[in-house]
Amino acid sequence: MQFPTILTLISSLALGLLPCGASAQPAPDVKVATPADDVLAQMRQAFVKNDRKQLTALLPQVRGHALEPWGAYWELKARLEVASAQEVQDFLHLYAGTYQEDRLRADWLALLGLRKDWSAFAAEYPHYRMGDDRELLCYAALIARAQTGADTADEVKRNWYALREPDLGCTQAAAALYGARKLSALDVWRKARLAIEANRPQTARAALDIVAPQASKSLTEINANPFKFLKAHATAPGQTRKELVLLAIIKMATNDADATFPVLENKWSVQLSPEERNWAWGVIGKEAAIRLSSDALDYFSRATSDADLTDDMLSWKARAALRAGKEPRWPVLLSAINAMSEEARKDSTWVYWKARALKAQGDAAQAGALLQSIASVRGFYEQLALEELGRKINVPPRPATLTPSELDAARLNPGLNRALLAIALGLRSEGVREWNYSTNLSNPRAAPGGMNERELLAAADFACQYQVWDRCINTSERTRTEIDFAQRFPMPYKDAVLRRSTEIGLDPAYVYGLIRQESRFVMDARSGVGASGLMQVMPPTARWTARKIGLVDFKPHQISDRDTNIAIGTGYLKLVLDSFAGSMPLAAAAYNAGPSRSRSWRGQSGAQALDAAVWAENIPFPETRDYVKKVLSNTTNYAALISGQPQSLKTRLGLVGPRDAATFEVNLDLP
């Protein structure tokens, strides 16, 4: 297929052919840039620097440009604290229906909450469409309780617990509900426990300011040296002291679970309440499980009730049960899953493993029903569920061809056009946000006319046509019933990828599966740690691999070249794969987190070989755990596309054996 260039889109938008109320298709093969394009880039830099004067001076130069709403947003947002309410309303009216309108409304609502201007907040909040800002949700809950007496405690607690850093809205709402006895002291202490466990001392302090403001000094001591704090206190009289002791145990456990065990077992266990004691054992068990310790289940077993454990603790208890011994501890696994919240139990991970546990215990009927509820080609556990039911992974039938009117609706959507133009002009962050806003399906408060599945497919097609692969993929994979594999699993640069894969003996499906997860085929993608290009190669790794594969005169800037990036990325992947005897899960983990970590996670010599799905689920790093599962799932689907034949994810997974220097430890100098 011949794709139009992104410059076509830039030109037609810059020329005004697709303004905010777009009514024309992009003009073909016109490549014109405008001075306003450069001005927008300058405005973005001025916004980052909070240079209000420059923003105001530059704004007139982008009037009439398709991305004028962004320039106007940056200019007003930078001076929002001194802007008048009328200026804000004028902006909301002028750019009605755009992402920028709702983004500024959210900023304005946050400012009104800070000012405690509740009447203005209550008047504006019903127009807020995104509805995803937890601080604003907490402010709204606080107002609803004051105006109507509504019981908003559960909503506030849910949003407050989900926030990693303290914010004014949820902290204020939690304090008000605690004062009104709608949140208990235990609710607030649990927030502090979660914050200490996550190494968020300021979040913990904000919670203590609500329930025990006099304990601020103790919290400082706990964060500095929890062992010293515990040693300095012989007993825990009173609820506040007991909770502080528990915070110290949690802090200590996150550093060394094994060393914390005797401290809790020999001294503090009898002084804590059953709930506090169970929480402490849950944290120690979780930290041991993350370190793949064989003692994890023993620690977890000392908690007398799974009901006192968080979903995170229970997830690690389930993982430890999977990893234990020659066979998983199915009863322990089942108990942990059943104790999870309803939301957690619905995750395909735990649906699948619950089904496996039930099947192992003889309940084939319920196991089959659970597997059937998730079985599909949509993801890792969905694919494994298909295979447990005796089916293979095939390319699903393509949805009905998109009609001209469906395609036109996407091509003429102002938000989608602005998003693609922003991405093309280097404003990727802004473009992605506007694209997501314009296509939002799941949030009922989202942009007007949130897209149904056919509209999502048309939007994905629009992005594919302009080779904006990440928006194409992410939009297409949001459909549940109408699945278009050609969109979800595109194969750009096919000749280069297939040629290089064939030359070095790599499965091209594996290469595509990895690239899709690494960069979504964004050639200029760059990670926060400096990895670059399609295959997200780090500079030191690129230099090392270039030497290994005989790429002479390699210079660091060449990693941005498509073919060089593919050559080095595939070369490194092949070396890693060979070093792990062809194990795709181990190699994927090594590619993401480093070979030394992948080796250490494999287990010590003499341990039992694991089902690779069990091994992958026990990877300590959440990012790498998700990465390995997605790469292998992607690979299986790409193999179905490339070969046209049914595929097996289980075959690709295989077993992950223990560390064995004689057969596995090859290329130990891998970076």
The predicted pLDDT at position 521 comes to 96
* pLDDT one-digit tens code per residue, 172-181: 999 999 999 9
Is 132's pLDDT higher than 80?
yes
Whether residue 305 is predicted with pLDDT greater than 60 in this model: the reply is yes
Map out the domains of the chain with their CATH numbers.
6-30+398-488 (no CATH), 346-394 (no CATH), 494-656 (1.10.530.10)
* pLDDT, average across residues 425-448: 78
Task: Dump strand ranges (E) for 560-631.
Answer: 610-611
Give the Cα separation of 275 and 266 in Å (integer): 18
| % of the chain surpassing 70 pLDDT | 92
Cα–Cα distance, 269 to 230 (Å, whole number): 13
**Across 112-121, 383-392, 604-613, least confident range:** 604-613
Catalytic residue numbers read: 518
Question: By mean pLDDT, which of 46-60, 266-280, 649-663 is the weakest?
Answer: 649-663
| Averaged pLDDT for residues 316-323 | 97
* pLDDT band of 71, cuts 50, 70, 90: very high
| pLDDT above 60: residue 662 | no
pTM > 0.85: yes or no? yes
pLDDT level of residue 430 (50, 70, 90 thresholds): very high
DSSP assignment of 642-654 equals: HH-S-B-HHHHH-
For residue 627, what are its two tokens? 């990465």
Mean of pLDDT values over 194-213: 97
**Averaged pLDDT, 4-24:** 43
pLDDT class of 8 with cuts at 50, 70, 90 = low
Region for residue 408 given its phi and psi (left: phi exceeds 0; alpha: psi -120 to 50; beta: otherwise): alpha
For residues 448, 454, 456, 458, the Cα torsion angle rounded to the nearest 10 degrees is -110
Instruction: Report pLDDT digits (tens) over 559-612.
Output: 999 999 999 999 999 999 999 999 999 999 999 999 999 999 987 655 678 999
Does residue 51 carry a pLDDT above 50? yes
Q: What is the rounded average pLDDT of the residues 443-455?
A: 67
pLDDT in tens, 76-116: 999 999 999 999 999 999 999 999 999 999 999 999 999 99
4-18, 298-312, 526-540: range with highest mean pLDDT: 298-312
The pLDDT of residue 526 is 79
Q: What is the pLDDT of residue 669?
A: 74
Integer angstrom CA distances of residue 25 from 18, 434, 580: 7, 20, 51
**Greatest alpha-carbon span in the chain:** 79
Confidence band for 9, pLDDT divided at 50, 70 and 90: low
Q: Torsion-angle region of residue 399: left (phi > 0), alpha (psi -120 to 50) or beta?
A: beta
